[in-house]
Amino acid sequence: MPMPLPPIYSFPPLYTRQPNSIIRRQQISSWMDLILQYAKSHNAWCMSAEGSIVTEGSESVQESIFVNNEIERSVPQVFINEIWSTMCQEGKAIGTDKGKKESPTYYILWRTVDSWASLILQWFESAGKLQQVVTIYELSQGDESIGWEFHGMPEPLTADCLKPLCHRHRATIVNDEYGKPVAVKVV
Amino acid sequence: MKRFGLAAFDDQQDDKEYEGISSAVLQRQNNELKEQLAVFQERLVGFAKKHNSEIQANPEFRSKFVRMCLSIGIDPLSLFDKDKHLFNVNDFYYEICVKVIEICRKTKDMNGGVLSFDELEKGYFRRLNVDMGDLEKSIDMLQSLDGGFEIFEIRGKKFLRSVPNELTGDQTKILEICSILGYSSISLLHANLNWKPFRSRAVLNEMVANGLLWIDEQADAEALYWDPSWINVLHE
pLDDT in tens, B59-91: 677 777 777 777 777 666 666 655 555 555 566
pLDDT at B155 over 60: yes
Q: To probe the interface with A, which of B15, B201, B217, B222 has the most A CB atoms within 10 Å? A: B217
Tell me the average pLDDT across A143-149.
Answer: 86
Instruction: Return d(Cα A158, Cα A150) in angstroms, integer.
Output: 8
pLDDT higher than threshold 70 for residue A146: yes
pLDDT at A42: 86
Given this model, what pLDDT does residue B11 score? 61
Question: CA-CA distances (angstroms) from residue B182 to A13, A22, A108, A148, B201?
Answer: 11, 22, 33, 44, 18
All residues of chain B having their beta carbon less than 8 Å from the beta carbon of residue A13 are 214-216, 224, 226
In this prediction, residue A86 carries a pLDDT of: 93
Q: Nearest Cβ partner of B16 from A22, A23, A128?
A: A128
Neighbouring-strand partners of residue A95: A106
Q: From A73, which residue of chain B is nearest by alpha-carbon distance?
A: B218
Residue B39 vs residues B46, B49, B55: alpha-carbon distances, Å: 11, 16, 21
Using a pLDDT cut of 70, give the percent of chain A over it. Answer: 93
d(CA B91, nearest CA chain A) in Å: 34
Is the predicted ipTM greater than 0.90, yes or no?
Answer: no
Report CB contact under 8 Å: A12, B211. no
Q: Which residues contact B42 (CB under 8 A, 6 or more apart)?
A: none
The pLDDT mean for chain A works out to 86
CA-to-CA distance for B176 and B184, rounded, in angstroms?
A: 9
**Which residues from chain A sit within 8 angstroms of residue B228, using beta carbons?**
11
> Among residues of chain B, what percentage have pLDDT more than 70?
80
**Domains located in chain A, CATH noted:** 7-108 (1.10.10.570), 113-186 (1.10.10.10)
Q: What is the tens place of the pLDDT at every residue in A34-83?
A: 999 998 888 889 898 888 888 766 555 578 899 998 888 999 999 999 99
Chain B contact present for A13, CB below 8 A: yes
pLDDT at A182: 86
Q: Nearest residue of B to residue A74 by CA position?
A: B218
The reported pLDDT for the residue numbered B12 is: 59
